[in-house]
Structures are given as structure tokens and as C-alpha cells.
Structure 1
Amino acid sequence: MVSAKQLEGDHSLLKPNNNNEQLKCQLTPIKGSKVLLYQLRASLGRVTACEGLPFNAEEGQSLLGPLILAQWEDCAWKGRFNYDVTSCETKVICGGNKFIAQLNEKWSLNSPAAIENQVILPLGPSKIKNVKIHREDILLCIASGENEISQLISSAVVPQDGTLIFINPDPIEYGHVYLAPYGFHHQSKMLDKRSLEFIIQIAVEVEDCSFRVFYDHAPLANPGAACFQANFFENALPVERLELAPVSGNVLDKGVLIYEVVGYPLKTLVFMSKGNLKLLIAFVTEICSVLQERNAVFSLLITDGGRKFFLFPQASSPSALHLSAWECGGYFLFKNAAEFHNISDDEISEYLASVSLDDEGFLTLKQLSCSIAN
């Protein structure tokens, strides 16, 4: 998630607010409760390139994306959010990077560790019996199915191998949700192939190019936290617009393409699939596994219906400074109007560069990626 760092000059990026009073209030238990259940089709399904096209439900695409948004909007209508994120002022910062800034005076950071304690642990075998969640914040549960087509069940007991979709009461953008594959993470709090594959299956099913998934691994700040987030960005993030350069040693004949982003202040790798999603997932999981074993800080941005992974490695910091995945992608929130109006492209570039790997560390990561691909 977001960590704070004062920039030199008159402006500063957001400092996290770890006040999670909403999570500490009396909550309704979920275990044994009935929820809206969406059962996925049996396979990952077809892989298509989004090519920037808008979502069009009339073309026979999946109902999952519209369902998530309809449930999210219902929560907004019922006042489940701390503010209306759609009314927040947003702008593109002048400069070559086209960073995006949002003025959100009511935003506060929900710690992933707090979210995990409130949601993931109680749903698997756990000795913690007094930690519960708001039933009203759960949009639906997504689970594996055995049929050739996906199906929606209006009322079902929460399965032990599903993924809960629930709101972030402090959203950064329209449709901001948490995705908690609790049946997987009570066994391992690390990112593993099974949970990542299921998240990608959800992204494929949503089939909406505005749907982006985020994952942050920062062991010092949030030890053991393992939770995905997603939202519906109308436009591409700044990092998605930049040129990509093939990494030396790219293994083109095995279905995984490795690139680095050119000219971005935060050194970034991009992994794509030529059509074999399972191979891509196994490849990304292996890289993340090595980084996790080394207690490295990194974030993932997953786009194009699960076909493209942006890996943002971050340098270790004694102050546990780290960026969220959307910050890594070039999207920043401000609580102060003066800072929002005066922030510059250079200041944000400096902020990103301050957590970037040095040349030697990035070269080592590229070599690791090529080695795993081989």
C-alpha cells in the first residue's frame, strides 16, 4: 500500500492514515452466511487482446464485470463508502509522463494487514474466532465451477475455496474492491500459483479492459498480508502508455515475452503471454516467489484481461518506504488542495526514482527473469 515520504520542496505526497475505526466496530459474522455466488466456467477460457476497446455488454460479454459494478453502486447508494470517489477532482499533471493526480481530502489508508485479519483468517481454519466482517460490504463470492459456462446463484453458503469480492470503504477509483482468495491464503500467506491463477481467471471472465488488478508485497510494513485489489480505470495508467523494449535473452518460442519500460523513473519489467496463460502465471509466480523469499518489496499491475503483468520492484528502505501498485503505475492521491494543484512531473518522478532499484539490481532481476523463462 501507500507509504509516505516528504519530498524536498513545498509539496508532499500523501501520508498514510492508519485509522481503521470502521474495521474495529461490531461486525456481522460471514461463516455460514449466504451470499451471491458466481461460479466460473471450468477453464481459463479464451484469451483476447483488449486493444483499448470499451466494454460493451450488448456484444455478449461476461456478466461478471457489470455485476461487480452493480453491486458496488448499490453499496454506494446505501452509504457504505466514506465519500463519493466519482466527485473527486482528477487531473493529468503537465509533463512528459502524464501522471494522474486525484484530490481526495477524505481518503485514508486501510492497512492490508488489518484487512487480512478482518477477512482472510476467519474464513479458513483459524483460532481467531472474534474477528468478523461487515456482511453488507460483501458484493459477491466467486468460485470454481464444473460447467462449460459460468452461472450465477442468488443465494449460496460461502464455499471454502472461493474468492470474496468486497468493497474498500475508502476507494481510490470507481469500482475499487478487494479480492480475498481466503481458501488459498489460510494455507500460505505468500502469492502462490493457485491463487494467482484464480485471480487471472476472474480477470479473463470480467473481459473488460478498464478492469485492473493490483498486488503489493511489502513484508516489513505488512508482514504476511496477501490480498488483491482491483478497480475500473476508464483510461490507461501512465506506465501503460510508454514504449517497451525487449529484454536480452527473451524466449519468444515458449510463449512468454519479457520487456522493460523505457524512460520511466521507476524501473519496471513487463511480462506478456503469446496465448499460454498458464505458462505466464507459472512464470510470474516463480519470479514473485524468489522475491518473496528475499523479503523484497514489489508490486504487480495486471492488465489486458490477465495477459499483461507489470512488475514494479522496489529498493529496500530502513524506513519501510514503499509505493502502492497504482502509485507505481503513475496514479497519485492528494489530501491537500495546494499540493494537488502545485505538484509537478519532476517531483513525482523524483518520488518514483527514490524507491527504484539501481542499475545493478535491475540487471540482476532481468537476468533472473530470463533464467526462469529458460
Structure 2
Amino acid sequence: MAPVNQFEDEYAYLKQNTSSEQSKSHQLSLRSIITNVYQLGIPTKTDGACGGLPCSEEGRHSLLDIVLLSQWEDHAWKGHLRYDVSSCQMKVITGGKKFIAQLNENWRSNILMDLEKKIFQSLSPIRSSYMKTHREDVLFCVSCGEKEGSELVYSTVLPKDGILIIANANPVEYGHIFLVPYDVHQMPQFLDKRVLGLMSQITAEVANRSFHIFFDYDASRSLDHKCFQACYFADPLPVELLPTTAIYGNLLTTGLYIGEVADYPLKAVVFVSKNLKALVEIVGEMCSYLRDNGTAFSLLISDCGTRIFLFPQVYTLLGYRLSTWECGGYFVYDAKSDFNDVTEVDISKLLASVSLDVYNFKNLMQQCCNAAVKLIL
């Protein structure tokens, strides 16, 4: 992913020094964080997503895209990342699926779990101790605004709820961030539709087809609150290039398409619609259905929020489950021998090992159809 140019003059104030305004209190509360706040415009009644923002033309960047990349690049330039992910060796694995492999000898696969332990405690707000010691990792905040158009404001007080954008010091790809839903009084529970809607709206506002948002739900863990993640991929993930078999509807007549990814070792459902409100509604229903059945799953939000992949997973004997980018066909290896030796057959077997069986996947597809019919009616 090629870096974006530095801020234009009208955005230069983002880099002003705020240290003199920091609270001198020993306990740094969440709302005392001084940061930039990107306020989302009010969704339109017709499509629920900021007037249906189209993906930007190649070479052009939306305001949120510029803010995100510039802040992340500045964070990297200051030495806060453990390594330069753009220097990692990459290859496309030989075979029809075109799986992607990255060699990253500094990679830590458990970084998300470590972050959650530092930031969260069960049923409690974000830990102020983390915010005090890791303030530099917070790039900015996203919240719901009260105007029709989105805007960037500088604030000495965070909104009462929103999305914290936190840099990932162990990036999988360019611009890798955590998106952390927060409330100054309590943490959002599980994956409510409001939070999912905000994530879809953020993807639409970034308006860059390289930008993808991820969510992984592990039913075996007691921690109910989750981080989202996002980063930029220079090319579409392998799963995005595959054909799909229609399960329900089409974009012309119903405005909503649900399909099964064809000829893929991991059974997956894809939801497509330009009506982000409807898209969030049905995907949220399916996530709740899987959670209620104790099924782990991953979500991939792409195409500026108009396409969402759902990857349900079973648990292997070793308790292993895949991350969203792995579900999409992108694998990171920390050993050169593994990177050199991996084959399409190896990856296909790994994907198939966590896939739902035919019976349970058929039930899921039926639930998708039932939910879609109720939504359209």
C-alpha cells in the first residue's frame, strides 16, 4: 500500500503539540484524553450511510482516508511500531486460489488477546491505566455527529461514546489499526447492530477499496467485548475474487444479495447491498444466531462497506481458529522455512479443518433467507 502524502495545509493542525494541555491528574480518565474527533454525518433515510458515499477514484482520498493514513504514518515515523511491515517479503502461492503469504519474523499472533487484557476488564469501561501509559497509540476518535456532513474537530474531551482508533504496533499490513467501541459508563455488549453499523459507516467514509475491517468472535472466551481491526491491502483478498452462488435475492429487484462463496475450502456467506442499514440488520441477525449456537465466526467488511463476508468456524481438537485475514486467504509466517514450503494444498486443508459441515451450513443459509424475507417484507 503506497503511503498517502502528508496533510494538506487545512489539516496541518492535527499535528500540533498537545502535551501542555494534558491533564496533570495522576488518574487519566477516558474522557480527559485530548485528541481529534472525526464526527460522522447523519445517515440518510434512504440508505443509512452518509448519502451512499462511493469508493473514491484511484489516486484520490476521502477526508477520513487522509486522516487515518497520515496519523498512522506519523505514528510509524516516530518509531512506535515494532517493524516496517512494508518491507516484509510477500508471495502469491502457486495454484488456482492465489493464496497470499507474508514472511514476517517479528510477527506475534497473540497481539489482539494481549491488547484486550490490557484495555478491558469484564463488564467494565476501558482501563484508565492503559490510556495513561499508551496515550500515544490513540490516533484519533470517531463518533456520531449531529450534522448532515462529516467533519473533523479538535477536542479536549472525548464524546461520551464512539470508536477509538488505536495503532497496532504489530501490523499485518499497511495502516493496521484497532477500532475499539467505548462508552464512558459501560462497554457495548457483544456485537450490537449500532456498533456494526458504525463500522460499516466508517468503511464507507474511508471510501478506499484497499481498506478492510475485521471482526473475530471466539465463543470459547469469556470476554464479551471485542476489538475490531482494519488495514489496507494493496490487492483484493483471494476470497474476494471468487465467484458466488446465489442463496437469496439480487441487487436489482431486492437490493440485497446473499451468496455462498463457491469452490472455497472454508464455507462462507457473502452479503452485498448498497443499503448499509439493511446490510447491517441482516448480518447482525446472523451473528447473533451463531453466537446463540456457540459458533465462532469472523467478519470481513469490504468494498466501502457494501460487501460483508461471514466465516463461521468450528473448533479443532487443538482449539485452533483462524483470523479474518486467514479466512480470506492471507497468511503470515514468522519462520522462513514455513514461508518457503507452504503450498495451496496445505492452506486448503487448514481452511477446511475449521469449516462448518454441510448440515450446519445449510441451516445457516436457511436462517439467512428467513431473515432476508422478513427484512424485505
TM-score normalised by L of structure 1: 0.85
Q: Does residue 272 of structure 2 align to residue 266 of structure 1?
A: no
Structure 2: stretches of 5+ with no match in the other structure: 1-26, 44-48
Superposed displacement of residue 224, structure 1: 1.7
* Structure 1 CA distance for aligned equivalents of residues 368 and 211 of structure 2: 26
Which residue identity is paired with 1:47? G
CA 1:195/1:136 → structure 2, altered by over 3 Å: closer, same or farther?
same
Superposed displacement of residue 280, structure 1: 1.1
* Structure 1 CA distance for aligned equivalents of residues 268 and 348 of structure 2: 14
* Structure 1 CA distance for aligned equivalents of residues 145 and 71 of structure 2: 21
| Cα contact 2:207–2:304 (8 A) shared by 1 | yes
Superposed displacement of residue 361, structure 1: 1.4
| Cα contact 1:177–1:229 (8 A) shared by 2 | yes
Correspondence for 2:299: 300
Superposed displacement of residue 36, structure 1: 1.2
2:32 alignment partner, SS class: coil
> Could you list the per-position Cα deviations for residues 198-236 of structure 1 after superposition, in whole angstroms to 9, with x for gaps in the alignment?
111111111111110000001215632411100011110
Correspondence for 1:5: none
CA 1:305/1:336 → structure 2, altered by over 3 Å: closer, same or farther?
same
Correspondence for 1:317: 316
2:170 alignment partner, SS class: coil
CA 1:34/1:129 → structure 2, altered by over 3 Å: closer, same or farther?
closer
| Cα contact 2:104–2:334 (8 A) shared by 1 | yes
Tell me whether 221-230 or 336-345 shows the greater mean CA deviation. 221-230
Superposed displacement of residue 256, structure 1: 2.0
CA RMSD of aligned residues (A): 2.5
* Percent of aligned positions that are identical: 43
Correspondence for 1:54: 58
Correspondence for 2:363: 364
Correspondence for 1:280: 279
Tell me whether 83-92 or 125-134 shows the greater mean CA deviation. 125-134
Superposed displacement of residue 116, structure 1: 3.0
* Structure 2 CA distance for aligned equivalents of residues 54 and 359 of structure 1: 40
Structure 1: stretches of 5+ with no match in the other structure: 1-26
CA 1:221/1:317 → structure 2, altered by over 3 Å: closer, same or farther?
farther
Superposed displacement of residue 48, structure 1: 5.3
1:310 alignment partner, SS class: strand
The equivalent position to 1:45 in structure 2, one of 40, 44, 50, is 50
| Cα contact 1:53–1:209 (8 A) shared by 2 | no
1:157 alignment partner, SS class: coil
Superposed displacement of residue 353, structure 1: 0.6
| Cα contact 2:176–2:229 (8 A) shared by 1 | yes
Which residue identity is paired with 2:286? I
Correspondence for 1:353: 352
TM-score normalised by L of structure 2: 0.84
Q: Which has the higher contact order (CA 8 A, sep 6+)?
A: 1
2:183 alignment partner, SS class: helix
| Cα contact 1:35–1:140 (8 A) shared by 2 | yes
1:264 alignment partner, SS class: coil
Superposed displacement of residue 322, structure 1: 0.6
Correspondence for 2:134: 134
| Cα contact 1:261–1:267 (8 A) shared by 2 | yes
Correspondence for 2:143: 143
Correspondence for 1:22: none
